[in-house]
Amino acid sequence: MRRIKQLDNHLVNQIAAGEVIERPASIVKELLENSLDADADQISVYLEAGGSKSIRVIDNGHGISEADLALAITSHATSKISNLYELEHVTSMGFRGEALASIAAVSQMQILSRTPESDNAYQITNQKTITAAAHPIGTTIWVRDLFFNIPARKRFLKTEKSEFSQCQEWFRRIAISRPEVSFALHHNNKLVTRFAAGASNYEASRLAYVFGPAAKEHTTFIDEVRAGVRLWGWVGHPNLAQSQANKQFFYVNGRFIKDRLVAHAVKQAYRDTLYGQRQPVFLLHIELAPEQVDVNAHPAKQEVRFHQGRLVHDFIYSTLHHALAKPQSQAQLVNHS
Ligand code: ADP
Ligand code: MG
């Protein structure tokens, strides 16, 4: 007879890690979110071999104290929430306390960090030994040899190019949401993208990336509030539509999401102006009270549940529909004058 056994902790972590860490891009996302939660305003990412060989994220945030380093890589340990009320009102990107533990279970990880209160920096590795280190205020998390201990997962990684482009996609999604933070992305020792902080830099670089160099001409800026829900951002005009759906940025309380309800509302709004399979381009933020939205629905957290789904859907639809009806006629007036 087959007996039931309790799995050992290490194996439990490796299995659980699979939910959060699918590929290098998942690590890039988790580490960038942690840097933002630490209030960093300068974040650099260094990747090697599409991230499968090495991912290093360096930030100037508030750091991790020596006393907390071991807990940081323990599962279900977080500084971000401590009770159900805080879970339901969460405003940070993270709250599960799973990412670093998961990453540590499937890679060679090293954390170097220094808090503003401390004169020294400290480092910790997978083995949980803590030693003194040299590091400015902030944190470096270095992840090497992803899935070295899980060959079956490693085999599922795609080509370097494909893994890199997925890392880059998450880098952009997060960078585009935070104008006040400067971001840099390096791959194989080459600088790939640098986004400087500040509003004018934002227009020149991040908005231009999404909508092209003439972003202002081809977008309508919206900023509306209905029943405590704010919808703001840039609606790309139909002439920007493309065959791929890779320039669609939608954030809920600063979190990049891909959500069916939102996708449906947006699609309906563009329906009269887009033909066939053309994909619209947009960069939109919804802001609402944290208790009005459940971001706890999925570990990868790309789907959310709105408590007033119908209201949010109709609000997105009608605002975009209205915005799209206007620029068309304005554009025609300009063309005819
Ligand atoms: P979560 O983000 O859900 O809390 P993580 O496993 O991602 O869980 O991180 C665990 C803890 O480690 C965080 O709660 C935070 O206190 C600390 N931490 C992680 N990354 C950083 C960072 N870059 N700067 C400061 N603290 C960090
Ligand atoms: Mg986190």
Domain enclosing residue 105, as ranges: 9-197
Whether 160 shows a pLDDT value over 70: the answer reads: yes
Q: What was the pLDDT predicted at 333?
A: 45
User: What strands, in cross-sheet order, belong to the sheet with 255-256?
Assistant: 219-226, 229-236, 282-287, 248-252, 255-256
Q: What was the pLDDT predicted at 11?
A: 86
Q: With bands split at pLDDT 50, 70 and 90, how would you rate the model's confidence at 144?
A: very high
Quick one: 166 and 222 in the same domain? no
**Mean pLDDT on 269-290:** 93
Quick one: 235 and 312 in the same domain? yes
Residue 1 domain flag: no
Whether 209 shows a pLDDT value over 60: the answer reads: yes
Q: What is the mean pLDDT of the chain?
A: 92
* Nearest-angstrom CA–CA distance, 181 and 176: 10
Q: Are 81 and 93 in contact (CB under 8 A)?
A: no
Question: Which ligand 1 atom sits nearest the alpha carbon of residue 61?
Answer: 24
C-alpha 142 to ligand 1 mean position (Å): 14
Quick one: 119 and 230 in the same domain? no
Residue list, ligand 1 pocket, CB within 6 Å: 30, 34-35, 37-38, 59, 61-64, 72, 78-80, 94-101, 139
For tokens 């960093």, the residue is 40
Handedness of CA 278, 281, 286, 291 (dihedral sign): positive
Helix axes 24-37, 99-106, angle to 10 degrees: 140
- Spatial CA neighbour of 36 closest among 135, 247, 180: 180
Residue 202 domain flag: no
Nearest CA to ligand 1 atom 16: 79
Q: With bands split at pLDDT 50, 70 and 90, how would you rate the model's confidence at 226?
A: very high
Nearest CA to ligand 1 atom 21: 34
Residue 226 domain flag: yes
* Nearest-angstrom CA–CA distance, 50 and 167: 7
User: For residue 300, what are the CA distances in angstroms to 23, 96, 205, 257, 296?
Assistant: 12, 11, 28, 10, 9
Residue 217 domain flag: yes
Quick one: 19 and 106 in the same domain? yes
* Nearest-angstrom CA–CA distance, 309 and 93: 21
Quick one: 221 and 187 in the same domain? no
Burial class (CB within 10 angstroms; exposed 0-12, middle 13-18, buried 19+) of 256: buried
**17 vs 140, which has greater pLDDT?**
140
Q: What was the pLDDT predicted at 126?
A: 85
Please give the distance of CA 150 from its chain centroid, rounded to a whole number. 25
Domain ends where: 197, 224, 250? 197
* Ligand number, closest to the Cα atom of 102: 1
Quick one: 68 and 135 in the same domain? yes
Nearest CA to ligand 1 atom 7: 99
169 phi and psi angles, rounded to 5 deg: -65, -45
Give, in degrees to the nearest 5, the angle at Cα 156 between 51 and 25. Answer: 30
Whether 243 shows a pLDDT value over 70: the answer reads: yes
pLDDT tens-digit readout, 7-23: 988 888 888 887 789 99
For tokens 């629905």, the residue is 297
C-alpha 72 to ligand 1 mean position (Å): 6
pLDDT tens-digit readout, 82-130: 999 998 888 999 988 889 999 999 999 999 999 999 999 999 998 889 9
167 phi and psi angles, rounded to 5 deg: -65, -45
Radius of gyration of the chain from its Cα atoms, rounded to whole angstroms: 22
Q: What was the pLDDT predicted at 330?
A: 52
Residue 293 domain flag: yes
Residue 237 domain flag: yes
Q: What was the pLDDT predicted at 170?
A: 96
CATH number at residue 217: 3.30.230.10
- The count of C-alpha atoms lying within 13 angstroms of the C-alpha of 267, restricted to the half-sphere facing its C-beta, is 12
Q: With bands split at pLDDT 50, 70 and 90, how would you rate the model's confidence at 303?
A: confident
Name residue 190's amino acid.
Answer: K
Quick one: 111 and 86 in the same domain? yes
Quick one: 225 and 186 in the same domain? no
Q: What was the pLDDT predicted at 20?
A: 81
Quick one: 167 and 137 in the same domain? yes
How large is the ipTM? 0.99
Question: Which ligand 1 atom sits nearest the alpha carbon of residue 99?
Answer: 6
Ligand 1: residue of 27, 31, 78 to mutate (most ligand atoms within 8 A of CB) is: 78
Q: With bands split at pLDDT 50, 70 and 90, how would you rate the model's confidence at 299?
A: low
Q: With bands split at pLDDT 50, 70 and 90, how would you rate the model's confidence at 332?
A: very low
pLDDT tens-digit readout, 44-91: 999 999 999 999 999 999 999 999 999 999 988 999 999 999 988 889
Domain ends where: 197, 229, 246? 197
Give, in degrees to the nearest 5, the angle at Cα 182 between 157 and 219. Answer: 90
| Tokens found for residue 231 | 């919808």
Residue 229 domain flag: yes
- Residues of the chain with pLDDT > 70, as a percent, come to 95
* Nearest-angstrom CA–CA distance, 273 and 293: 30
Q: With bands split at pLDDT 50, 70 and 90, how would you rate the model's confidence at 334?
A: very low
CATH number at residue 68: 3.30.565.10
Bridge partner residues of 141 (DSSP): 57, 111
Quick one: 102 and 185 in the same domain? yes
For tokens 């951002």, the residue is 233
The tally of domains found in the chain comes to 2
Whether 336 shows a pLDDT value over 90: the answer reads: no
Quick one: 159 and 255 in the same domain? no
**Mean pLDDT on 289-306:** 82
DSSP sequence for 59-104: E-S----HHHHHHHTSTT--SS--SHHHHHT--SS--SS-HHHHHH
Quick one: 264 and 189 in the same domain? no
Residue 205 domain flag: no
